[in-house]
Amino acid sequence: MKQPRMFRYMKTSIIVGLMLLGSSVFMAYSHQRKPDIQTKPPPQTTPKVTVYDFSQLVAEVKSTVLTITVLEREQKDQPSSSTAPSAKPPPNLQEEESVRPTPEQQEPSPALQTSGSGFLIHPKGYALTNDHVVKHAKRISVELEDQREYEARVIGRSPLLDLALLQLEVPKGTRFRYARLGRSGTLQVGEPVVAIGNAKGLGLTVTSGIVSAKGRTVGSDEYESYIQTDAAINLGNSGGPLFNRKGEVIGINTAILQGGRGIGFAIPIDIVRQILPQLHKTGKVERSQLGVKVQQVATDVAQLLGLSRPQGALVTDVAQGSAASKAGLKIGDVILSINGQTVRTHQCIPHLVAFQKPGTHLVLKTRRDRKDILLRAVLQAWRKAQHSIEPSAESSEPSTQKSKPKHVGITVASISPHMRQRLKRTPSQGAWIRGVNSGSLAASQGVKEGDILLKVNAIKVRSMAHARSLLATYNPKHPMLLLLQRQEELLYIVLH
């Protein structure tokens, strides 16, 4: 029987409604089981990386960079105008001085032209470069990026830091664009840098990279504290600027690691800032001294001194009458900061002290007896012959007894009058280490026969018998700190 039209419409509507409802339920169910992962992105966990375009920076600063050519040098046997020692690179370093055809690392012949780089730091034509670029130079020519050429003369040198200050000989009233000096102390490892210089004699060449490390020491020179970079530095780059992304000079390109790739070194500009006024005014650098000898604070020494981590500089000697002595600094103190600047390692001391002006006041934060104290020192002018500590009254302990604390492996004896005469630096007290057992704890930590034992755990050794009793207290669970005299040097060694 045929159904009414309205009933058919209702039936159709119900079926369609049920289908739509089922579809909605399915979609809702599917949405719950498979959420859209793009609706709520995960939190950002990867640091932002920026790719830099240095074209505008280079256009701004390249006119401040110089190609330096030494046209004529003095004979090698002629003395330098400075009495300071010449800066020589460690065996594994090369100076970026382009010398043709003389092999690298050899003194250039007076007849050969040599080239390097430099940069202007003043509108009147003052410029900086490396000392080894213009060493013994009689005639110097500089060329700007726009191919203007001038002669220049050296007006200040620091062979110790490998720095030289030049002045271009130009008509009165001539003005130049110059580079701005930045602050190398604020540099962060990983920051982008740009090196510009006369690479391989090709003319001004631009390379870029990052700061690979700071405070790098690659030789035995106590004044080394290089910025390491992977920006390509080649022969001829010596004396050229290392720029940050603001276009400020933060280093002077100086050396490359022999046989290394992407390992170059630059003198931090903060060191240059310290000595620049002296170079300009007097042509040389007058150094200051605190009057101490220091060594690294090892992990075990830090624990004994109550430090949370290895830091600072452990004082092993204080010169009589020195700034340190007058300030009250003592052997065994740890210098933690100087005028608020943290002393990360013992290698920081020369940089924080040597190139301050004599008479500069310093505040030394020092760790002594597991407590921090503040000492105030006034720097003195550097003297080549450092006064050693004057001995006090000699001990009258007889030199007849010996002891062998077998648990540390040391044989001690009293210091005889004959031995005191042979020692260049005579201790007032202490005990002579007559022998060190092979394979013993003391031998493994570097104690040597002939050392003088001065202190055990900060306690002064009064005699051989006293040394014996102190060494007998050694407990493997508790490290023992020894202060030794080895010839003229003092050093700390930890037994553990």
The Cα–Cα gap between 290 and 325 comes to 9
Q: For residue 416, what is the enclosing H or E element?
A: none
SS3 71: strand
User: What phi, psi does 281 have (nearest 5°)?
Assistant: -80, -45
The Cα–Cα gap between 463 and 468 comes to 9
Annotated catalytic residue 24: no
Question: Catalytic residue among 98, 115, 225, 238, which?
Answer: 238
Annotated catalytic residue 146: no
The Cα–Cα gap between 342 and 249 comes to 24
Contact residues for 377 (Cβ-Cβ < 8 A; gap 6+): 290, 323, 324, 326, 327, 329, 361, 362, 364
Q: How far is CA 384 from CA 77, 84, 287, 289, 407, in A?
A: 24, 10, 10, 10, 43
The Cα–Cα gap between 344 and 213 comes to 15
The Cα–Cα gap between 341 and 364 comes to 10
Annotated catalytic residue 300: no
Classify the phi-psi angles of 162: left when phi > 0, otherwise alpha if psi is within -120 to 50, otherwise beta.
left
Question: Catalytic residue among 98, 132, 346, 414, which?
Answer: 132
Question: Catalytic residue among 115, 131, 162, 337, which?
Answer: 162
Amino acid at 176: F
The Cα–Cα gap between 463 and 397 comes to 6
What residues are annotated to the active site?
132, 162, 238
